[in-house]
Structure 1
């Protein structure tokens, strides 16, 4: 059995919270790296290749939103849990739209944080159950859900984010049947509010550009107006 520790990158500038997070996570067996400002976070992520990032929104240098966008633009797909002191829906939606997988509003309990971390790591690493598809064929396009990569007809390979893989997995459970935006928000984003479904539309649009030969005329990831979306596999 491998004794390699799961690595977590904490991007936070509040000293007392850094101490608490490091102490808590290390006591749970995680290897912890800390960036106390935004400008060096991306380089630390590239250097240490974490399994998960805990990312504050309000940081010196760069905001958490900017960092999340840079991480995703750099093709890094590890889960991001965003921390915010703002208990406003618009901030949470913005975080989800730029690439975060989950969020916690300060102050939060240690048990809740650990539960969120464990849930995200579990979803990241257990996509290969015996009754799940690992290679999805959509016409001439192969979607490798184990390796999180799309193989296009011209040989180009495009990486999928952990959120995109989870989104495909969930749509596959209801293949050829409609799935509402509210259901996707609840089940894939674990988002308790349904007043803004734009975040789903944005992610669907980005995913469609990767898995469709002609995204403007999709054959597989279909919009059902007034209903939601459907993944056609037959």
Structure 2
């Protein structure tokens, strides 16, 4: 591990699991912060700007879902791995749709968790090194990615963190076909998912914010059987 260890915040209220995770991660050279409830987790994020979060869903007070939403709404993009005893598909889908990057069901193997943490950190570092695109002109709309806004002549629409990442990736590949799998891997940053509907839902919401006629998009077009393309004229 480097002289500047990666910061991981564990958001968990089960003492035995906290002890195991903290001991394991510190032995691997990570700097670890513990939050046993949601509000505490948000404060740690603001103060420490961690590199990754391990997040339990079933927390006292603010749920893990709410923590995830708040973190993403504050435009933090570090990876979030959900840890939970829940094993239903809907819980996984919900977690990923609100901004989580990965999902592990308790009980899980420590070696697998460490491997996933390392993979997420590598992907996050690669993503953060990409040259950011901060402004995009899609006449008559201006996309202000730095401030997460789509500015129309008569109104402004707020963009979510995921929508900003989605536009940035598509803009970096403007006028090129982009598959759903590529978006899942590079925007959501997880490798395998049969839930391509996740991408479609986000594209639909994004169109409603950046297109004058979302049902007949001029810029964010569907390529049937392939994926999507951001057409910049």
- TM-score, shorter chain, exceeding 0.5: yes
1:200 aligned residue = 199
Partners in 1 of 2:126 and 2:85 — Cα distance?
A: 31
Structure 1 residues 51 and 207 mapped into 2: Cα distance closer, same or farther (>3 Å)? Answer: farther
Partners in 1 of 2:122 and 2:24 — Cα distance?
A: 19
TM-score by length of 2: 0.75
Cα shift readout 1:11-61 (whole Å, capped 9, x = no counterpart): 001111111111111111111111112232212211221111110111111
Partners in 2 of 1:72 and 1:128 — Cα distance?
A: 16
1:40 aligned residue = 40
Is the 8 Å Cα contact of residues 87 and 105 (structure 1) preserved in structure 2?
A: yes
Unaligned runs of 5+ in 1: none
Is the 8 Å Cα contact of residues 135 and 142 (structure 1) preserved in structure 2?
A: no
SS at match of 1:104: strand
Partners in 1 of 2:163 and 2:19 — Cα distance?
A: 29
SS at match of 1:8: strand
TM-score by length of 1: 0.75
1:69 aligned residue = 69
The alpha-carbon deviation at position 76 of structure 1 amounts to 1.8
SS at match of 1:219: coil
The alpha-carbon deviation at position 204 of structure 1 amounts to 2.6
Is the 8 Å Cα contact of residues 7 and 51 (structure 1) preserved in structure 2?
A: yes
The alpha-carbon deviation at position 104 of structure 1 amounts to 1.0
The alpha-carbon deviation at position 101 of structure 1 amounts to 1.0
Unaligned runs of 5+ in 2: none
The alignment yields a C-alpha RMSD, in angstroms, of 3.6
1:83 aligned residue = 83
The alpha-carbon deviation at position 227 of structure 1 amounts to 5.3
